[in-house]
Structure 1
Amino acid sequence: MITETTDKLPHFLKFLNERLNVSTTTKPLVIGLVGIQGAGKTTLVNSLIAARPTTTAVFSIDDCYLTHADQVSLASQFPKNKMLQHRGVPGTHDVKQCVDTLTRLVNRDGIVKLPKYDKSKFDGQGDRVDEREWEFIDSSKIDLVVLEGWCTGFTAITQSELAHAVRDGASHATLGQHSLHDLEFINSALKSYSEIWDFFNGFVILDAENESIVYRWRLQQEIELRFKNNGKGMTEEQVKQFVDGYMPCYELYLNNTRLGKGLNLQTGSFLRIITNDNREVVGIQQI
């Protein structure tokens, strides 16, 4: 059932409180949060932290990107794969770093350092922040962990599904621009991400009525980033090229994620928040 509303936070908090109340584990609840770039994930989790400042740990899969040096090395190994020439798609994250961080948080393993990534470094290419600047969390106080990101919860599809999607690539915005071989690398890399998703006790998707709005939303993000970083960041054309690199993954995996496929969640543990082009909520669906 879908209901109409206008504000994300009350429904997000209601969902989290329900999950906390029905949880039978003494370990922190782990929630995955996904949404296309610019959908409002950061704003939502910042509001969550303000509401639960001492018992909530939030970090982004974006903070687990490869270092700039490792990303340059990966790009040089696969020079013809346009999706690997910058950070973003599955295969450009340090999965082990994310798993290790979640493991320590769930086990309440003392003071935990949350990874941090600066997207403005190297003229917008980005790099990991020095560990001395990471956030330190006292995990003994944590009862809720939220992992957010643009591809959180995306799960690999079968070889036949991938081949079929490539054959129909002309009907997609960007999928047809890539070879089956290059997409196979991304799909294969995504299989290891299930080690991260297996931590989830619940999942929330900030969905958009119009996926192509990601171009405008991501440009808005970059303008704000440049303002905060003395003008450093990507140009408008660079932003378009950057988003083009993400779109094949939206086209391949987002529909399955909308259904919670591959996440092995209990009934009631999946929340879909549907927004319009102005990021206003127009529907709520709990599965």
Structure 2
Amino acid sequence: MRIAVTGSIATDHLMVFPGRIADQLIPDQLAHVSLSFLVDALEVRRGGVAANIAFGLGSLGLDPLLVGAVGTDFAEYEVWLKQHGVDTGGVRVSADHQTARFMCITDEDANQIAAFYAGAMQDAREIDLWQLIGTRDRPDLVLVCPNDPAAMLRHTAECRELGLPFAADPSQQLARLDGDEIRELVTGAQWLLTNEYEAALLLERSGWTRAEVLERAGTWVTTLGGDGVRIDSAHQATITVAAVPDTEVTDPTGGGDAFRAGFFAAVSAGLPLEAAARLGCVTAASALGTVGSQAYRADRDSLLAEAARAYGAEAEQEIAPALSGMR
């Protein structure tokens, strides 16, 4: 399966606060918050949702097409992605803006406060999937990930016009999108991906019930953090898969992106949904143990061993075909 991943490409500035963010909040002063955190560490890492997922897919042996907008400071990052199996032929370089920046503070409970500067990402709305697909191998699936909102809407519409199956992954941009935009992004999606909080926000903003969402999207995958993942569809029983137990969380940034890479690598190999969710959880566990969204090393033997530890020898054998193309 050829997968195109559209969305943000960014540089992450990750900081660690040696305390609890919640302890700094005064309940009767939340309307006038003014906080500054003295952090103990700063890591500058490669990131962006689309780039993270493409990195994961490439590391797992696929040949993903990355589609997004960057600045002229992207050259070194591009080399890194190509080294990890990513086709960067769908990346647009802006002459006017730098690559997007993600700035995040994580406390000792893994709670986070973050900000995102779009920069060159706003030029993603100028990317024409019609033209791009016409010059490359036609993808079997397009992931529409957090991006410039106009780009997300454009790519969704183009997927419908081109007859391309797509996955709606609005994630962090749900806070920016209105109800009409959310309904437009979800309708007709083969896959819908959110975490638990985003699922509640999507329902509130769209005005739809869970059943109404499932009437419009094929399969809804909801990550539940330490509780694993839930998979819902209109005509099948709900599937739940536990997270990998005893996972050491060094940095939660990018865990959801790694899950998506593992999940869609398994889907690409034709694995059942439960097996796909298990590979997603195993890949996420690898990412959670490192600082930075692309710092983990996807090693076939290690992933299979972790799957066996978490889910048993049968699960290990089931997901093995999805890793057969690993470099």
Give the TM-score normalised by the residue count of structure 2: 0.24
